[in-house]
Chains A and B, each alone.
Chain A
Amino acid sequence: MSKQINVALIGNPNTGKTSVFNQLTGLNQKVGNYPGITVEKKEGICKLPRGVKAHILDLPGTYSLNTTSLDESVAVELLLNKNDKDHPDVAIVVSDVENLKRNLLLFTQIKDLKIPTILVINMADRMSRKGITIDIELLEKKLNSKIALVSTRKETGIERLRELIADYKNLSKTQNVDTSVIAPEYFASLKEAFPKEDVYKLWLVITQDVNFMPLEKTLIKDTSSFTTKSKSELKRLQQKETILRYQFINGILKETYKVDANAAKGFRATLDKVLTHKVFGYVIFFLILLTIFQAIYGWSEYPMDLIDGFFASATEWVKDTLPPGVFTNLIAEGILAGIGGIVIFIPQIAFLFLFIALLEETGYMSRVVFLMDRIMRPFGLSGKSVVPLISGTACAIPAVMATRTIENWKERLITILVTPFTTCSARLPVYLIIIALVIPEGSFLGLSYKALTLMSLYLMGFGAAILSAVILNKILKIKSKSFFVVEMPNYKLPLLKNVGYTVLEKTKSFVFGAGKIILAISIILWFLGSNGFSDEFKNAETIVTNRVQENGFSASSEIYFETHQNGTTADEGSGALARKELEDRALAQEIAGYKLEHSYMGYMGKAIEPIVRPLGYDWKIGIAVLTSFAAREVFVGTLATIYSVGNDEEETIKNRMAAEVNTRTNKPLFNLASGVSLLLFYAFAMQCMSTLAVVKKETNSWKWPAGQLVFMSLFAYIVALIAYQLLK
Chain B
Amino acid sequence: METTVADLKRGQKGIIKEFTEDLLPIKLLELGCLPGNEVELVQVAPLKDPIYINVNGSHIAIRREMALHIALDIIEDNAVV
Interface residues of chain A, those whose CB is within 8 Å of chain B, are 63-64, 66, 68, 98-99, 101-102, 105, 231-232, 235-236, 238-239, 242-243, 246, 269, 272-273, 276, 278, 281-282, 366, 369-371, 373-375, 383, 481-490
Contacts and interface: CB of A to CB of B under 8 A. Distances in A.
7 contacts: A66-B27, A231-B23, A373-B61, A374-B50, A383-B50, A484-B61, A490-B59
A709 B34 CA distance: 47
Nearest to B29: A242
Q: Which 8 A-B pairs have the closest CB atoms?
A: A278-B46, A374-B47, A488-B59, A486-B61, A63-B30, A64-B30, A242-B29, A374-B49
B61 A488 contact: yes
B81 interface: no
A242 B61 contact: no
Contact of B57 (A102, A238, A483): A102
B48 A63 contact: no
Contacts of A269: 42
B52 A66 contact: no
Nearest to A265: B54
B28 interface: yes
A272 B26 contact: no
B30 A486 contact: no
A690 B7 CA distance: 48
A242 B66 contact: no
A382 B32 CA distance: 24
Interface of B: 19, 22-23, 25-32, 34-35, 42-43, 45-50, 52, 56-63, 65-66
A546 B28 CA distance: 80
Contacts of A239: 19, 26, 29
B57 A99 contact: yes
B30 A242 contact: yes
Nearest to A239: B29
Given A272-B43, A370-B52, A374-B49, A64 B26 contact: yes
B80 to A, nearest CB: 10
Given A235-B23, A371-B46, A246 B28 contact: no
B26 A68 contact: yes
Nearest to B23: A235
Contact of A273 (B32, B43, B50, B59): B43
A366 B26 CA distance: 20
B70 to A, nearest CB: 12
B22 A102 contact: no
Contact of B25 (A68, A246, A273, A366): A68
Most buried by A among B27, B62, B65: B27
B21 to A, nearest CB: 10
A425 B10 CA distance: 43
Given A272-B43, A373-B61, A490-B59, 10 more contacts: A68-B26, A99-B58, A276-B45, A366-B61, A370-B52, A373-B63, A374-B49, A481-B23, A481-B25, A485-B62
Contact of B59 (A68, A105, A246, A489): A489
Nearest to B53: A488
Contacts of B47: 374-375
B60 A485 contact: yes
A609 to B, nearest CB: 51
B52 A276 contact: yes
B58 A102 contact: yes
A281 B60 CA distance: 18
A239 B23 CA distance: 10
A487 B27 CA distance: 11
A485 B28 contact: yes
A102 to B, nearest CB: 6
Contacts of B65: 482
A484 B62 contact: yes
A235 B27 CA distance: 12
Given A239-B26, A272-B43, A485 B31 contact: yes
Contacts of A66: 26-27, 30
A68 B27 contact: yes
B46 to A, nearest CB: 4
Contact of B46 (A281, A369, A484): A281
A353 to B, nearest CB: 24
Contacts of B31: 63, 102, 485, 487
Nearest to B35: A243
A370 B45 contact: yes
A243 B34 contact: yes
A99 B55 CA distance: 12
A487 B59 contact: yes
Contact of B61 (A99, A102, A243, A370): A370
A103 to B, nearest CB: 10
B28 to A, nearest CB: 5
Nearest to A209: B26
B62 A374 contact: no
Given A102-B32, A374-B49, A276 B43 contact: yes
Contacts of A232: 22-23
A235 B28 contact: no
Contacts of A369: 61
B45 A235 contact: no
Contacts of A375: 47
A39 B63 CA distance: 27
Contacts of A236: 22
Contacts of B35: 243
Contacts of A238: 26, 29
Given A64-B26, A238-B26, A371 B59 contact: no
A482 B22 CA distance: 14
Contact of A102 (B30, B42, B48, B62): B30
A239 B19 CA distance: 11
Contacts of A278: 46
A373 B66 CA distance: 14
Nearest to A109: B30
A370 B44 CA distance: 9
Contacts of B48: 374
Contacts of B26: 64, 66, 68, 235, 238-239, 242
A366 B42 CA distance: 14
Contacts of B63: 373, 482, 484
Contact of A485 (B27, B45, B49): B27
A484 B60 CA distance: 10
B58 A484 contact: no
B27 to A, nearest CB: 5
A374 B46 CA distance: 9
A207 to B, nearest CB: 9
A63 B52 CA distance: 19
